[in-house]
Amino acid sequence: MIQKYSERSESNPLLKVINLKTNFYTESGVVNAIAEINFSLNQGDTLGIVGESGCGKTVTALSIIRLIKSPPGKIESGQIILEGVDILKFSRREMRKVRGKKISMIFQEPMTSLNPLMKIGHQISEVICLHQGLSKAGARNKTIEMFNMVGIRAPDKCFFNYPHQMSGGMQQRAMIAMALSCNPRLMIADEPTTALDVTIQAQILNLMQKLQKEIGTSILLITHNMGVVAQMAKNVIVMYAGRIMESAPVEDIFEQPYHPYTIGLLESIPNLASVKAKRRLRIIPGNVPSLFNLPTGCKFSNRCAKSYSKCLQEEPPLVSVSPSHMCKCWLYV
């Protein structure tokens, strides 16, 4: 399985996640949040991870940047290979040098990801001072340059603004400036536009695409919005209950989805045709199963319309259905 996967991807991808497994040790038992997932991301590409709430998208992201809260969280096994080096073997000190410089992260809510007591400019120049060893004045110039780049108006004035003096969109731009200020190889965007309204969302996504081209950063985009994935990503991973259900190039996912879960997800996107026909929005029946109490076979079997006896007993492997398309379902084995 793994062999096949690595054969498929280019010989030397930027990020390669191999058999990553993360558990949470809670009072009511051990929860397996991510079960041995594999994927890779090439230089300059965007990989979208989609799935319902609680399917392990954010845990995957936090595992890669190694910010899983421990305890209760723990990365059990696997390798995270960034530019050929396994960063899971890094010490805390070495990891600090990776964060911000090679991997950076944008969070969901820009309003809470900035310190309310600190001027925006100082928060951004903090990263530059940390990793590039510039003087205060140099860091300030670089910050203003970054502000210009992410389209913040009057950047030299904004430098001295407190976060509450800016709108959500501007705050998210500032966060992007912070994430990109040291030209990281990989930017993890954890639902970067969820807290923003649609017009600002479009602006932020365009900005991210533009900057990606300029800097050559790879983006790991985590979202539950299929529209965002369609616009941004080159490859898509569909996750469910901590497992990769389907992974394929973005066109394939939308044109020919294989996994019943992916099909369900795509059908539950509201569109104009169904509104005109006055059809009810399709949904996937049921809820995400509790991680304490997962079904024994395929984790989606209890909500799947196409499930049969084998699905309930045994978990299917992730198999190739076409050269670039993989699916974890007994229907295609």
Which C-beta is closer to other proteins: that of 34 or that of 65?
A: 65
Distances (CA, A) of 176 to 134, 197, 221: 20, 17, 13
Given 14, 37, 49, 114, the residue binding other proteins (CB under 8 A): 114
Which C-beta is closer to other proteins: that of 108 or that of 231?
A: 108
Please say whether the dihedral angle defined by the alpha carbons of residues 131, 132, 136 and 140, taken in this order, is positive or negative: negative
Window 218 to 247, contacts with other proteins (CB under 8 A): none
The number of residues in the chain equals 333
Q: Which residues contact 207 (CB under 8 A, 6 or more apart)?
A: 150, 151, 173, 176
Given 40, 60, 113, 218, the residue binding other proteins (CB under 8 A): 113
- Per CB under 8 A, the segment of 33-41, 73-81, 114-122, 318-326 that binds other proteins is 114-122
Which C-beta is closer to other proteins: that of 147 or that of 258?
A: 147
Which C-beta is closer to other proteins: that of 178 or that of 205?
A: 178
Helix (H) or strand (E) holding 306: none
Rule CB under 8 A: say whether 146 interacts with other proteins.
no
Rule CB under 8 A: say whether 143 interacts with other proteins.
no
Window 180 to 199, contacts with other proteins (CB under 8 A): none
Please say whether the dihedral angle defined by the alpha carbons of residues 241, 99, 14 and 249, taken in this order, is positive or negative: positive
Window 270 to 329, contacts with other proteins (CB under 8 A): none
Window 3 to 62, contacts with other proteins (CB under 8 A): none
- Per CB under 8 A, the segment of 4-12, 126-134, 234-242, 323-331 that binds other proteins is 126-134
329's tokens: 């379902």
Distances (CA, A) of 192 to 32, 53, 91, 228: 26, 15, 29, 10
Rule CB under 8 A: say whether 139 interacts with other proteins.
no
Given 30, 130, 200, 269, the residue binding other proteins (CB under 8 A): 130
Given 52, 83, 126, 315, the residue binding other proteins (CB under 8 A): 126
Given 33, 149, 158, 178, the residue binding other proteins (CB under 8 A): 178
Given 118, 275, 281, 333, the residue binding other proteins (CB under 8 A): 118
- Closest contact distance (angstroms) between CB of 51 and other proteins is 21
Which C-beta is closer to other proteins: that of 90 or that of 332?
A: 90
262's tokens: 């992916």
DSSP code for 271:
-
Between CA 167 and CA 175 the distance in angstroms is 12
Between CA 292 and CA 175 the distance in angstroms is 35
Between CA 293 and CA 26 the distance in angstroms is 14
Q: Which SS3 state, helix, strand or coil, does residue 321 take?
A: strand
Rule CB under 8 A: say whether 125 interacts with other proteins.
no
Please say whether the dihedral angle defined by the alpha carbons of residues 222, 223, 224 and 230, taken in this order, is positive or negative: negative
Q: Which SS3 state, helix, strand or coil, does residue 147 take?
A: helix
Rule CB under 8 A: say whether 269 interacts with other proteins.
no
Residue for token digits 């995400």?
288
Window 72 to 111, contacts with other proteins (CB under 8 A): 95-101, 104-105, 107-109
- Closest contact distance (angstroms) between CB of 112 and other proteins is 4
| CB count in 10 Å sphere of residue 11 | 6
Count residues contacting other proteins (CB under 8 A)? 29
Rule CB under 8 A: say whether 201 interacts with other proteins.
no
> Cβ distance 147 to 159 under 8 Å?
yes
Interface residues with other proteins (CB under 8 A)?
Answer: 65, 67, 71, 95-101, 104-105, 107-109, 112-118, 126-127, 130-131, 175, 178-179
